[in-house]
């Protein structure tokens, strides 16, 4: 708090009064000086009270055109401010994040608004410092920094040397005479197959392109808390499925493959109903695409896997039964039914595949959910035995009467997430 020229003159006159009273032994001069001094102190108290009320009434709203940008990227800000100034004369200006370089406009508020653009070369997360307020009355003036709304919006700069790790592929399908380009269909899955950034995650594992698109930081599945690798299980549709469904299915598989691109190979397991699985490594993209092209020519001899997984039946019984006694009897019946039964070839093969996936902790399924779903519920139960995360993409069931049935069946089987696409 600094005195104005008027306050300085009053204090000087007060000093002259005290000197005159001391030299001339004048009580009137001393009283005049003391009165002026009390008046100045009261004015200071009033100024501080008004200043405190002003600081408490300040409200700032900032809008940024983007919050996740590359290093030295340009950001446009539109700010609005409201405050109760009272008897004070005040001016306000936005205080930019440290290291910012103003490009155009002005951070000074005029009629309660300010618009400007700046570059921020600082890597990492940055925040505004607040609002600088310069206020005065007849006797005092002060400039202070108010950190109201300083934490919003939070700006994140990533290094320009880190390339984007997400690529959307939708051209040149090759499984028909017509090429399809549906990038919007593919890019919609990205945020579901990644997870939001958490403190402690490596900066190199952030998907910057996707984060910039959604204005929120995302890291790939590899950086999940369990530290495991993904796996993809593709349940090919039946031969009598429509061409549109097969195309939609193939595009979904390609989109999931692109979103699971983490720099390391992982298994892509193709099944055709309850037939023996075929495993292809994720790096063998040409073989995967060839398998998708062949899907329309595959003749399915046994699409339905008639035997339900015991744990799936038990879980469904617990979820639907309200009578504990009947539930226990039903569980006992299921146990007796499956006791001593020889496993089928499909069960043996999938148990073997599940046992070999020691590092894969995130299993993504893509299925058209045709048939009685028993082969899929068995797979989900089998892979969930080792506490793996199970995400299921169901193609062609969204908005149909069987959507609720499919979602319920996979949820009861143990799926952590069921997405209709």
For 71, the 3-state DSSP assignment is coil
Per DSSP, the residues of 315-362 read HHHHHH---HHHHHHHHHHHHHHHTTPPPPHHHHHHHHHHHH-SSEEE
* Same domain flag for 204 and 220: yes
Domain region containing 145: 58-158
**CATH number, residue 260:** 3.40.50
Dihedral (CA of 108, 114, 119, 125) sign: positive
Dihedral over alpha carbons 119, 121, 124, 127 (to 10 degrees): -40
Q: What is the pLDDT of residues 53-105, one digit of tens each?
A: 888 888 888 888 888 777 667 888 888 888 888 888 888 888 888 877 888 88
Model-wide pTM > 0.75:
no
Same domain, 407 and 286: yes
Domain C-terminal end among 56, 85, 102 = 56
Is residue 166, in this structure, part of any structural domain at all?
Answer: no
Residue 65 and residue 52 share a domain: no
Judge if 136 and 206 occupy the same domain: no
275 in a structural domain: yes
The answer to whether residue 403 is domain-embedded is yes
Do the domain assignments include residue 416?
yes
Q: Which residues of the chain have pLDDT under 50?
A: 160-192, 222-226, 297-307
Residues 191 and 203: their CA atoms lie apart, in Å, by 17
Query: What pLDDT score does 340 carry?
Result: 55
Q: pLDDT tens digits, residue range 201-230?
A: 666 667 776 677 667 777 765 433 345 678
As for how many domains the chain has, the answer is 3
Tell me if 327 is assigned to some domain.
no
pLDDT of 390 reads 86
Q: Is there a contact between 373 and 303 (Cβ–Cβ < 8 Å)?
A: no
How confident is the model at residue 183, as a pLDDT? 36
The CA-atom distances, in angstroms, between 14 and each of 22, 45, 48, 140 are 12, 18, 22, 17
391 vs 416: CA distance, rounded Å? 6
Residues 87 and 213 in one domain: no
Structure tokens at 40: 């100045």
Query: Edge-to-edge strands of the sheet including 140-146?
Result: 2-3, 140-146, 130-136, 89-95
For residue 268, how far is the Cα from the chain centroid? Answer: 27
DSSP state of 163: P
Q: Are residues 187 and 248 in the same domain?
A: yes
Same domain, 42 and 68: no
Residues 229 and 248 grouped into a single domain: yes
Out of 141, 158, 175, a domain closes at 158
């Amino acid at each position: 708090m600094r005195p104005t020229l008027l306050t300085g003159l009053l204090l000087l006159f007060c000093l002259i009064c005290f000197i005159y009273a001391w030299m001339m032994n004048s009580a009137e001069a001393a009283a005049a000086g003391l009165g002026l001094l009390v008046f100045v102190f009261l004015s200071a108290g009033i100024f501080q009270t008004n200043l405190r009320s002003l600081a408490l009434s300040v409200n700032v709203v900032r809008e940024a055109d983007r919050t996740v940008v590359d290093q030295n990227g340009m950001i446009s800000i539109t700010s609005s401010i409201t405050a109760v100034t009272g008897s004070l004369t005040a001016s306000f200006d936005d205080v930019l994040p440290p290291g910012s370089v103003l490009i155009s406009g002005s951070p000074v508020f005029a009629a309660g608004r300010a618009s400007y653009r700046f570059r921020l070369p600082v890597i990492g997360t940055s925040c505004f410092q607040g609002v600088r307020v310069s206020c005065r009355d007849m006797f005092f003036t002060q400039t202070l920094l108010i950190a109201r709304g300083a934490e919003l919006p939070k700006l994140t700069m990533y290094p320009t040397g880190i390339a984007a790790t997400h690529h959307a592929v939708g051209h040149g399908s090759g499984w028909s005479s017509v090429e399809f380009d549906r990038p919007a269909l593919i890019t919609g899955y990205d945020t579901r197959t990644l997870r939001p950034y958490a403190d402690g995650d490596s900066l190199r594992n952030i998907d910057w392109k996707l984060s910039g698109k959604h204005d929120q930081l995302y890291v790939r599945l590899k950086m999940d808390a369990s530290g495991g690798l993904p796996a993809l299980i593709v349940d090919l549709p039946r031969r009598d499925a429509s061409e549109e469904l097969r195309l939609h299915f193939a595009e979904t598989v390609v989109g999931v493959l692109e979103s699971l691109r983490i720099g390391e190979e992982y298994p892509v397991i193709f099944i055709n109903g309850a037939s023996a699985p075929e495993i292809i490594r994720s790096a063998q993209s040409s073989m995967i695409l060839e398998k998708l092209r062949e899907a329309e020519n595959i003749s399915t001899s046994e699409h339905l896997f008639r035997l339900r997984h015991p744990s799936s039946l038990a879980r469904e019984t617990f979820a639907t039964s309200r009578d504990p006694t009947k539930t226990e009897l039903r569980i006992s019946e299921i146990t007796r039914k499956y006791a001593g039964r020889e496993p089928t070839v499909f069960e043996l093969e999938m148990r073997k595949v599940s046992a070999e996936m020691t590092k894969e902790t995130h299993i993504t399924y893509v299925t058209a959910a045709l048939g009685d779903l028993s082969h899929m519920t068995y797979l989900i139960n089998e892979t969930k035995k080792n506490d793996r995360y199970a995400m299921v993409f169901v193609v062609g069931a969204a908005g149909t009467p069987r959507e609720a049935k499919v979602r319920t069946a996979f949820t009861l089987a143990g799926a952590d997430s069921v997405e209709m696409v």
